[in-house]
Amino acid sequence: MLSPRLFRRSFGTGTSVTSTSELRLRFIPLSDSVPLFLLPYRFLESRLSSLLAADDANPLSFRRLKQLHAVLFRVQLHRSSFLVSKLVRSLTLLSSTPHDYPLLVLRHVPFPNAFLYTSLIRHYLLRGSTELSVDIYRRMRQDDVTPLSFTFTAVFKACSSAPGLPLGAQFHSQAIIFGGFDSDLYVGNSLIDMYVKSGIFDCARRVFDEMPLRDVISWTTLIAAYTKAGDMGSAEGLFQSFPEKDEVAWTAMVTGYAQNASPYKALTLFEEMHELGIAVDWVTIVGVVSACAQLGVVKYANWVRRISEELGCGPGDNVVVGSGMIDMYSKCGNVEEAYRVFELMRERNVFTYSSMIAGFAMHGRANLALDLFEKMVNNTDIKPNKVTFIGVLTACSHGGMIEKGKKLFASMKDVYDVVPDADHYTCMIDMFGRAGHLDEALRLAETMTAKPHGGVWGAILGACRIHKNPDVASIVARHLFELEPDNVGNYILLSNIYSSSGRWDEVSELRKLMRERKMSKKPGYSWFETKKGEVHEFVAGDMSHPMYEEIRRILKELLSRLKAAGYKPILSSVVYDLCDSDKERILMGHSEKLAFAFGLASTSDGDPIKIVKNLRICEDCHSFMSVASAVTGREIIVRDNMRFHHFRGGSCSCGNFW
């Protein structure tokens, strides 16, 4: 029997349990006249079991558990795996439990069973000590203790926290050997999760397919994994065969479509989800808001906002939804409504401010973007992050504010402790390039501290197009072709630069190289949304639209008026070596011009015309829209893949910095 002195030496002096009389006072036995340690063994074990029972709502204090542990020693039950397992479970509920204490408990159990080992594995797993959890499992096997099903669920969770396929696969094989535990529902779910987090989807799917019983977790874990990996085909197939889809699976699919550039599918599925009465929460709304932002369709944006407000998770109630809606309205061409959402929000964080700053920047409101940044850093406790600085530097780039951009870039590390990465350097290089400082842009790209990616060199190549510098373009293109050998846009852009400079031999060589690599130019698409919410799609050179003849007539009449007002087609925007009349005909078939003519035919005088385009607007179309805004008296809003252009009275909000 452990003496009080030996107990204090083993466990410290924190416990006051040192005598039989104190035990009698602290732990009430069956009757006050019978000390706890004199009770019959089975009753004693039952009594201690109830005292050690873990209560999640009201856990015992660490001091109390040490006292109970002392009692186990006093009555010679400290070797009981059953009671010590209970003790470990209660210790797990306490964040104040010393890290080594459960291992000390194990040391005094000569023959620990699977329950005790599993309790210890779970304890250290929940504490984030995944390696120690695995080590305890190894000791369990060294002691020739056969694991239980929930031993494997804990071990596989440990492997999920620190993915390592060889180790996880080894434990999987043991689960099969020790009684086919891989057929257990919970073990199977843990295996799916482990393989998913290790990126081994084939193994995860095989486990799923071989499970004799599956639950909602089995299905949703794999569906969500496919969507995050961008494998929407596998996700769709699994989702369609899911017999009892829950809101988690629906939300995973909606979010997956939005994150994988399928916004129409995301909205269509959300409509079906809404019609079926499937529960929707703010997570679902965030995915739908992202889809609306990609499409830039106001009809859907307002509809989703109404639903979110009805659910009590609108922009005024949920900071994540509100921040997403700022981005949504900005990308729908309504930066004023985005700012109204910003002002409506009761809670704002760095993402809220960053979204609004980026919204102002993409609409050419550089001064408003910088003013909001100053208010954030001077009037709130919110600190800017990397995304915030991308917004303010983009505003400087699109506004031609070189000196302001330099000061902000310098302040990132010195003032705000934000280390510039390749994206921030891209903004600076883009700013220098747009302003015509190509040598400075090239020098910064070659000396930047972060490793340059394709966006860095792409920014310089875009500036070479604006300023017609084929020599610098050739230098930059070599870096781009090495970093992004399959990006057809880089080849097209270099071809445009060569063609505008009349270097047709280089154009021919590029096109030959593209044919050898089986690369084709991505077609230009433009979309126009009517007041009824109907979206019409136009493709460059496509004559299939039912109103094509009317569109062609309007363009022909408009072209005469524009030429009279000073518009001259920029024939260098055509990369083919053709006669001028053929080049002009090709230019008139650009998708944004077709969409604009349709907008004139389907809207009333004075109504703004908004166009969404999948590629960057070409130089000729930019000039066309500028003059057309003056001749027709319309505001023309074009969202290309870089930014928004607001054409009013013959000029553009971008100030020709695009």
Look at 17-26, 68-77, 174-183 and tell me which has the smallest mean pLDDT.
Answer: 17-26
**Structure tokens belonging to residue 6:** 């030996």
> Average pLDDT for residues 340-349, to the nearest whole number?
96
The rounded percent of the chain whose pLDDT value lies above 70 is 91
What pLDDT band is residue 510 in, cutting at 50, 70 and 90?
confident
Give all strands of the β-sheet with 644-648 in edge-to-edge order. 535-539, 525-529, 609-613, 636-639, 644-648, 651-652
Rounded to whole angstroms, the Cα distance separating 117 from 123 reads: 10
Look at 281-290, 494-503, 608-617 and tell me which has the smallest mean pLDDT.
Answer: 494-503
What pLDDT band is residue 163 in, cutting at 50, 70 and 90?
low
The rounded percent of the chain whose pLDDT value lies above 90 is 45
- Of 133-137, 396-400, 463-467, 646-650, which has the strongest mean pLDDT? 646-650
> Average pLDDT for residues 309-330, to the nearest whole number?
95
| Cα three-residue angle 293-298-303, rounded to 5 degrees | 95
Rounded to whole angstroms, the Cα distance separating 120 from 118 reads: 5
Class of domain 429-521: mainly alpha
When the pLDDT of each residue in the chain is averaged and rounded to a whole number, the result is 85
What pLDDT band is residue 379 in, cutting at 50, 70 and 90?
very high
Per-residue pLDDT tens over the stretch 126-150: 887 878 888 888 888 888 888 888 7
Per-residue pLDDT tens over the stretch 400-433: 899 999 999 999 999 999 999 999 999 999 999 9
**Residue 15 in this model has a pLDDT that exceeds 60:** no
**Residue 386 in this model has a pLDDT that exceeds 50:** yes
**Residue 45 in this model has a pLDDT that exceeds 80:** no
The set of residues, in sequence order, having a beta carbon less than 8 Å from that of 533 and lying 6+ positions away, is 297, 298, 299, 300
Whole-structure pTM value: 0.76
Rounded to whole angstroms, the Cα distance separating 74 from 177 reads: 40
Per-residue pLDDT tens over the stretch 578-588: 788 888 888 99
Delimit the domains of the chain by residue range: 429-521, 525-652
